[in-house]
Amino acid sequence: MGICIVLFSSLSQSRSSYIFRILNSTGAAERMTKLSALVAAVSLLPILCFSFSPENPTDRRVLVLLDDLSLKSSHSIFFNSLKSRGFDLDFKLADDPKLSLQRYGQYLYDALILFTPSTDRFGGSLDLAGVLDFVDSGHDLILAADASASDLIRNIATECGVDFDEDSSAMVIDHKSYAVTETEGDHTLIVSDDYIQSDVILGSTKVESPILYKGIAHSLNAANSLVLKVLSASPSAYSANPSSKLSNPPLLIGSAISLVSVVQARNNARIMITGSLDMFSNRLLRSGVQKAGDSNKYSKSGNEQFVTELSKWVFHERGHLKAVNLRHHKVGETDEPAIYRINDNLEFSVQIYEWSGKSWGPYVANDVQVQFYMMSPYVLKTLFTDQKGLYHTSFKVPDVYGVFQFKVEYQRLGYTSLSLSKQIPVRPFKHNEYERFITTAFPYYGASFITMAGFFIFSIFYLYNK
Amino acid sequence: MPIIVISVGNRFVYVPANKPQCPISTKESLPLHRLLETYKTKAPYSLTLSLPLDIYFQLKSVTHFWPSMAAAAETSSQRTLRNAFGSVLAFFILLLIGVLAFSIRLFSVIKYESVIHEFDPYFNYRVTQFLTKNGIYDFWNWFDDRTWYPLGRVIGGTVYPGLTLTAGTIWRILNSLNIPLSVETVCVFTAPIFSAFASWATYLLTKEVKGAGAGLTAAVLLAMVPSYISRSVAGSYDNEAVAIFALIFTFYLYIKTLNTGSLFYATLNAIAYFYMVCSWGGYTFIINLIPMHVLLCIVTGRYSSRLYIAYAPLVVLGTLLASLVPVVGFNAVMTSEHFASFLVFIVIHVVALVYYIKGILSAKMFKVAVTLVVSIGLVVCCAVIAVLIALVASSPTMGWSGRSLSLLDPTYASKYIPIIASVSEHQPPTWPSYFMDINVLAFLVPAGIIACFLPLSDASSFVILYIVTSVYFSGVMVRLMLVLAPAACIMSGIALSQAFDVFTRSIKFQLPGISGKSEVDAGETSSSSVVAENDAAKPDKSEETLKERPSRKNKKKEKGQVEKANVEKNSTKSKIEKRLLVLPLEASVIALLLLVFLGAFYVVHCVWAAAEAYSAPSIVLTSHSNDGLHVFDDFREAYAWLRHNTEVDDKVASWWDYGYQTTAMANRTVIVDNNTWNNTHIATVGTAMSSPEKAAWEIFNSLDVKYVLVVFGGLVGYPSDDINKFLWMVRIGGGVFPHIKEPDYLRDGQYRIDSQATPTMLNCLMYKLSYYRFVDSDGKGFDRVRRTEIGKKYIKLTHFEEVFTTHHWMVRIYKLKPPKNRIRGKTKKSKSKTSTTSSSRKSGARKKNPWH
């Protein structure tokens, strides 16, 4: 089993470049016995397991870019929770001249945390396009900005579908649901408990205490189906410069303001974007929270649970599905045919598993559907599940020939989207598959035979009866 | 055997009653000669005028029918020898004609290579491969999922299988003889082989009409008529290659049946018709022309039992057989194309019945019967016609297919069916194309028609009908020039052979020294007419000369022949009189020379046409320029790229012209191909090509298309590229999807691609894909086909990316970009940053074409 994982992880995913090189070197040393090769492979197993692969979708190697190394200690709770979950964090300064996400065309990291709100340009070879390509090749990203967010950070967010408030000095202000502190302040440390309703994203345990937030606002395009508002501001919030008087009505107000958003790209790469770096800080994670006008005082803010659970989702520890073994065959047979005939009865099955962070378990739902599709679905059936990950159904091929597809399109909030299709042609009847004799045509058969016989008799009469 | 004896003058001739046209062979005449002598004394069978006039003239027209019995007895041994010699000579001539027909079509193999040509042949080739690999039943039931994605095509039920089966059979036979030829080789050479067969069939047909001499001439002409060469050069593996042979052979068997009245030939005729139905949709020409001829014969009072035997079995057996071909099926009884034959079938039975009743009833009774039958018949006819009209009217196109309608109304296609009009071979021909395709035959045809009228027989009237209808059809559709070509060859063959006949005879009479021996030599003048020079032959001789003369003056004397023939009863013409009837020696010699020149010119033209005009395979192109020969092999380069660099199940979209080639050469699934059975599907692709990029991407994506292939000739000046075909895409697309409007693509009614072009034109997908990066080639973007600079030089593609462009840019392949991984936000600021992003991506895309 371990060997299997080795092969899978090294062959199927491109991230593990150095593993390739190690394997190659072992391969080059052909004198080595099989056994030693096996030992080497087994000894490599722990390293290999850390790499991202379809078999093991959780991120392992995370690059954390910081403006200032002091963040490492001021946000240590968050980082430690990651480390304790097995992540391999690599802290670097944003302007590190040797900064590089990839080497020899292979990515060195599985995920990126950008805690660099004020960086105007990265060091080394990394730039805006580099970050976006990183995401587009299926890697995850956590991006936190704050009031000093640079153009670079804003552009990354924009490219992902999140628009930070264009006013660079604006912050989210809420005069009603601000956090009660010793000093009155300018009400920029706000409290929010308007979460997205999704157990997949935020975990099954409800976040009890509200979230403390201090940072800038962003908005989402409603037409953008990939981006989700995870934490939104209260209806009384607005985005403006707290130190100056409002001359114009603020552009971003109320619950249109998103505080934390997540994006699941089409390739299932996950991105978390927030306008508050402080949200992750030890200070806010540890502090108690009391919402203005609310007598409830929580001893600890919900931030820790919130960011931990959200990071689990972002780093694919939760909500990751895979569909395998898409099979179909005629009723009563087991082999998959190359072509179906119209009106055949077929059985279809697919296995869907969910990643629990450590292992694959069955995914149980009652809303998985299969389409038998040729430009439009001809058959649409909900699949039955055996609670062990197997989904199956049977149906009759429509009376239309053509090139069909079995399609499973499964998109649920928080889960990675499943999109499977398998092409299968459907042919009409062969010449010898029709009925030989049709009952209703018997008068015609009779007529033709009678005519033949009649002609025969007539010929005999005519020829020999002169 | 019943014998009909006709007395003309004081000579008696006889014919077997069942084949009155069949000339007596000398062999046969010997034992019967005595018989006839006795008949002469008793003369009970002397039915001088009881035969219809036309048969009488038919008898006369066959020259060696005439010799008197005495003459026949006299020179029989000598003539047998001569006939045998003539037959052997004719055999070798025919053999050489076959070699000529085959070898003149090999230019394409010698100049290029042994390769399948053009578009449709690739499909036929692919089907043949399938047939040879999987056998006939799998071929019959073949559902092809690689074309017309996602609809697929039931190949077995939608192709004319004749060509494929023929080539497959040839391949199988060769393989069983341990001659391991590849399927491709067999396919390449099928057309030349069958054109040799077609020449022989022409010989047979013309021989039935006007004798062996005309037959040989027609065969030679057909062997190298450019129109036919254009469709049957080696590699042009298309239905027409075998269909023309089948067409001529069917006509030959029809005429043969008509001349002999033999059921054997009638059955063969039905089988030949079946082969034609298998081979080509043009079989409707046969099933309409033959009824027309039958009707003509009936109307002109030429009804005979031979006509009935020639026609009735053909309709019954032919229709039964035709409906066995899957692609025809019930069309053989359901569509209007076939109704004419059924109507005439009814008519001929009515006529037969009338003749029969006339024979058994007295004149008075017959009159009563006629009134009875006519009144009942009218009622029945009305009922039948009403049913027919109801049937026809129930279908939207009145039961006619689009192609047939465009034959009857030449403007039909251009008005209603752009998909038919868009095919260049469906356009009406220009005048020069007549000269190009049938050359001098165009001038000889009228002479041939006149020769066919002298005298008019059943056979020659058929040929006249054939030429008249085919001239009309060729005027409608340039493709049907192919049907005209055999008719023109037959007519010209008749004309040439008759002219040679007259001139050589005139010379022979007048040449001193030969005239004395002319009795012996005259028989050799041509293999068609063995003329015996003796007393008996004299009137015949003058008769023939007379026949020739009106053909050059006018037809006035044609009528006079009847009297002439009677006058000749007691004629004792002297040689002096005969001399007046032949042409002057000088005129004959000069005319002969001119005719030879004409023939030589024809040969030169045909060879030129075969070598230069019609031998290009059109997948490999060549051009001569100052620095030598250029070979453009871009098509195969592109298809090879597709075959090696794309997934097996990837779908390739292109305009339908390239569908067959893509499936056959690249082995990739196509959306539309050259088989135009689904207008909407083609219109979808047309719409995509004429839409802006995003809309086009959506259409293509909904069809699972991965790659888009466009053909672009602007760099090397290849005129039949997609930009030149583009208006058809707009028209066909707009015919189904009305938001595509042709005027949007035209500036003041003009189709242009320069800076004056309309924005719709400049933004449509086809324009962008054709001219993407074109300005990089020469810095100006000068299109060498349209001879202008392009209107939009710097084109940015957002939804497509270039993946391959061939060496001469003739084929460009683009890939559909996947949907964006992320959706951008709305904010548009700090442009400098975003532009660097896009430029870096563009440079990335640019790197991908390693060829430039």
Q: Per-residue pLDDT tens for B804-821?
A: 999 999 999 999 999 888
- Give the pLDDT confidence score for residue B618 in this predicted structure: 83
Q: Is residue A8 part of a domain?
A: no
Tokens 């240590």 belong to which residue? A76
3-state secondary structure B217-280: HHHHHHHCCHHHHHHHCCCCCCHHHHHHHHHHHHHHHHHHHHHHCCHHHHHHHHHHHHHHHHHC
- The helix (run of H) or strand (run of E) holding residue B69 is helix B69-103
Q: Are residues A237 and A339 in the same domain?
A: no
Nearest to A403 among B152, B833, B841 (CB): B152
The answer on pLDDT for B728 being more than 60 is yes
Nearest to B152 among A129, A155, A425 (CB): A425
Q: How far is B819 from chain A (nearest CA, A)?
A: 8
Chosen for mutation from B138, B141, B145 (greatest number of chain A CBs closer than 10 Å) is B145
SS3 A26: helix
Cβ proximity of B348 and B313 under 8 Å: no
Q: Is residue A232 part of a domain?
A: yes
Q: How far is B275 from chain A (nearest CA, A)?
A: 21
Q: How far is B149 from chain A (nearest CA, A)?
A: 7
Token pair for B813: 């392949």
Average pLDDT over residues B665-674: 90
Measure the N-to-C terminal CA separation of chain A; round to a whole number of Å. 96
CA dist., res. A139 & res. A106, Å (int): 12
Cβ proximity of B499 and B492 under 8 Å: no
Q: Which residues contact B317 (CB under 8 A, 6 or more apart)?
A: B267, B270, B271
> Cα–chain-centroid distance for residue A44?
28
Instruction: Say which amino acid occupies A237.
Output: A
Q: How far is B144 from chain A (nearest CA, A)?
A: 9
Phi, psi angles (nearest 5°) of residue B395 = -95, 145
Q: Are residues A126 and A258 in the same domain?
A: yes
String of DSSP letters for B644-694: HHS-TT-EEE--GGGHHHIIIII--EES--S----HHHHHHHHHHHTSBHH
Residue of chain B minimizing CA distance to A120: B833
pLDDT category of residue B542 using cuts at 50, 70 and 90? very low
Q: Do B821 and A267 touch (CB under 8 A)?
A: yes
Nearest to A161 among B137, B151, B822 (CB): B822
Nearest to B825 among A152, A161, A428 (CB): A161
Average pLDDT over residues B194-218: 94
Q: What secondary structure letter does DSSP report for A204? A: S
Chain B within 8 Å of A157 (Cβ-Cβ)? Answer: yes
Chain B residues within 8 A of A153 when measuring between CB atoms: none
Q: Are residues A197 and A84 in the same domain?
A: yes
Q: Do A157 and B830 touch (CB under 8 A)?
A: no
Phi, psi angles (nearest 5°) of residue B803 = -115, -25
pTM above threshold 0.95: no
Percent of chain B with pLDDT over 70: 77
Q: Where are the alpha helices (DSSP H) in B361-440?
A: 363-394, 402-408, 412-416, 418-421, 431-438
Chosen for mutation from A122, A158, A397 (greatest number of chain B CBs closer than 10 Å) is A158
Most confident residue range from B271-280, B514-523, B573-582, B790-799? B271-280
The answer on pLDDT for B466 being more than 90 is yes
Q: Are residues A450 and A395 in the same domain?
A: no
Token pair for A364: 């149980």
Query: Which of the listed residues A314, A339, A361 is the one where a domain comes to its end?
Result: A314
Nearest to A431 among B141, B703, B821 (CB): B141
- Give the pLDDT confidence score for residue B445 in this predicted structure: 93
Chain B residues within 8 A of A226 when measuring between CB atoms: 822-823
Cβ proximity of A386 and A353 under 8 Å: no
Q: Are residues A325 and A403 in the same domain?
A: yes
Q: Is residue A119 part of a domain?
A: yes
pLDDT category of residue B400 using cuts at 50, 70 and 90? low
pLDDT category of residue B208 using cuts at 50, 70 and 90? very high
CA dist., res. B572 & res. B569, Å (int): 9
Nearest to B830 among A135, A155, A163 (CB): A155
Q: Is residue A1 part of a domain?
A: no
CA dist., res. B537 & res. B543, Å (int): 10
3-state secondary structure B332-379: HHHCHHHHHHHHHHHHHHHHHHHHHHHHHCCHHHHHHHHHHHHHHHHH
Q: Do B827 and A163 touch (CB under 8 A)?
A: yes
Chain A residues within 8 A of B840 when measuring between CB atoms: 129
Cβ proximity of B9 and B568 under 8 Å: yes
Higher pLDDT, B272 or A6: B272
Mean pLDDT of chain B: 80
Q: How far is CA A171 from CA A159, A174, A263, B493, B762, in A?
A: 21, 10, 22, 99, 46
Compute, in degrees rounded to 10, the torsion defined by CA atoms B281, B283, B284, B290.
Answer: 170
Q: Is residue A129 part of a domain?
A: yes
Nearest to A263 among B819, B822, B830 (CB): B822
Q: How far is CA B192 from CA B81, B184, B437, B441, in A?
A: 35, 14, 18, 22
Residue of chain A minimizing CA distance to B671: A403
Chain B residues within 8 A of A266 when measuring between CB atoms: 818-822
Residue of chain B minimizing CA distance to A162: B825
Q: Are residues A427 and A440 in the same domain?
A: no
Percent of chain B with pLDDT over 90: 45
CB pairs under 8 A between A and B: 98
Cβ proximity of A252 and A219 under 8 Å: yes
Nearest to A372 by CA among A341, A405, A398: A405
- Give the pLDDT confidence score for residue A262 in this predicted structure: 93
Cβ proximity of A358 and A318 under 8 Å: no
Chain A residues within 8 A of B149 when measuring between CB atoms: 403
Nearest to A138 by CA among A271, A309, A307: A271
In tens, the pLDDT along B26-43 reads: 333 333 444 444 444 443
Q: Which residues contact A347 (CB under 8 A, 6 or more apart)?
A: A328, A329, A330, A331, A392, A393, A394
In tens, the pLDDT along A284-322 reads: 888 888 887 777 888 888 888 999 999 999 999 888 999
CA dist., res. B124 & res. A38, Å (int): 55
Chosen for mutation from A133, A139, A166, A403 (greatest number of chain B CBs closer than 10 Å) is A403
Query: Which of the listed residues A314, A347, A365 is the one where a domain comes to its end?
Result: A314
Compute, in degrees rounded to 10, the torsion defined by CA atoms B459, B462, B464, B466.
Answer: -140
Tokens 């997948």 belong to which residue? B619
Q: Do A265 and B821 touch (CB under 8 A)?
A: yes
Residues of B with CB under 8 A from a CB of A: 137, 140-141, 143, 145, 149-152, 154, 156, 649, 669, 702-703, 818-827, 829-830, 833-834, 836-837, 840-841
Q: Do B821 and A163 touch (CB under 8 A)?
A: no
Q: Are residues A146 and A276 in the same domain?
A: yes
Q: Is residue A2 part of a domain?
A: no
Q: Is residue A5 part of a domain?
A: no
- Give the pLDDT confidence score for residue B406 in this predicted structure: 65
Q: What is the number of structural domains in chain A? A: 4
CA dist., res. B288 & res. B190, Å (int): 28
Phi, psi angles (nearest 5°) of residue A249 = -65, 140
Cβ proximity of B692 and B169 under 8 Å: no
CA dist., res. B224 & res. B438, Å (int): 10
Q: Do B149 and A403 touch (CB under 8 A)?
A: yes
- Give the pLDDT confidence score for residue B548 in this predicted structure: 41
Residue of chain B minimizing CA distance to A157: B825
- Give the pLDDT confidence score for residue B414 in this predicted structure: 61
Chosen for mutation from B699, B827, B829 (greatest number of chain A CBs closer than 10 Å) is B827
Q: How far is A267 from chain B (nearest CA, A)?
A: 6
SS3 B578: helix
The CATH number linked to A193 is 3.40.50.880
Stretch 167-226 of chain A: residues touching chain B, C-beta under 8 Å: 220-221, 224-226
pLDDT category of residue B547 using cuts at 50, 70 and 90? very low
Q: Are residues A186 and A204 in the same domain?
A: yes
Q: Do A163 and B140 touch (CB under 8 A)?
A: no
Phi, psi angles (nearest 5°) of residue B334 = -100, -30
- The helix (run of H) or strand (run of E) holding residue A352 is strand A345-355
Token pair for A231: 């934490």
Q: How far is A362 from chain B (nearest CA, A)?
A: 28
Residue of chain B minimizing CA distance to A166: B827
Token pair for A161: 């579908």
Contacts 24+ apart (CB under 8 A), B342-347: B342/B315, B343/B291, B344/B291, B344/B292, B344/B294, B344/B295, B344/B311, B344/B315, B345/B291, B345/B311, B345/B312, B345/B315, B346/B384, B347/B295, B347/B298
Q: How far is B826 from chain A (nearest CA, A)?
A: 7
Q: How far is A433 from chain B (nearest CA, A)?
A: 10
String of DSSP letters for B511-571: STTTGGGHHHHGGGS-SS-----STTHHHHHHHHHHHHHHHHS-THHHHHHHHHHHHGGG-
CA dist., res. B810 & res. B712, Å (int): 5
Cβ proximity of B236 and B189 under 8 Å: no
Q: Do B822 and A160 touch (CB under 8 A)?
A: yes
Domain span holding position A39: 17-53
Token pair for B292: 């027309």
Cβ proximity of B660 and B143 under 8 Å: no
CA dist., res. A181 & res. A330, Å (int): 69
CA dist., res. B461 & res. B764, Å (int): 56
Q: Are residues A454 and A427 in the same domain?
A: no
Nearest to B222 by CA among B437, B425, B430, B435: B437
Q: Are residues A101 and A239 in the same domain?
A: yes
Beta bridge partners of A260: A231, A274
Tokens 């032959």 belong to which residue? B537
Q: Do A428 and B145 touch (CB under 8 A)?
A: no
pLDDT category of residue B395 using cuts at 50, 70 and 90? low
pLDDT category of residue B692 using cuts at 50, 70 and 90? very high
CB atoms within 10 A of CB B240: 23
Residue of chain A minimizing CA distance to B831: A155
Q: How far is B829 from chain A (nearest CA, A)?
A: 8
The answer on pLDDT for B451 being more than 50 is yes
Nearest to A224 among B823, B829, B834 (CB): B823
Q: Are residues A167 and A189 in the same domain?
A: yes
Report the range of poorest mean pLDDT among A446-455, B423-432, B450-459: B423-432
- Give the pLDDT confidence score for residue B546 in this predicted structure: 39
CA dist., res. A255 & res. A221, Å (int): 13
Establish how many alpha carbons lie within 13 A of residue B246's alpha carbon, considering only the half-sphere containing its beta carbon: 26
Average pLDDT over residues B285-302: 93
Which residue ranges in chain A fall short of pLDDT 50?
1-51
In tens, the pLDDT along B161-199 reads: 999 999 999 999 999 999 999 999 999 999 999 999 999
Token pair for B684: 């979808």
String of DSSP letters for B79-106: HHHHHHHHHHHHHHHHHHHHHHHHHGGG
Token pair for B790: 């392009």
Cβ proximity of A354 and A362 under 8 Å: yes
Q: Is residue A111 part of a domain?
A: yes
Q: Are residues A23 and A93 in the same domain?
A: no
Q: Do B821 and A402 touch (CB under 8 A)?
A: no
The CATH number linked to A361 is 2.60.40.1930
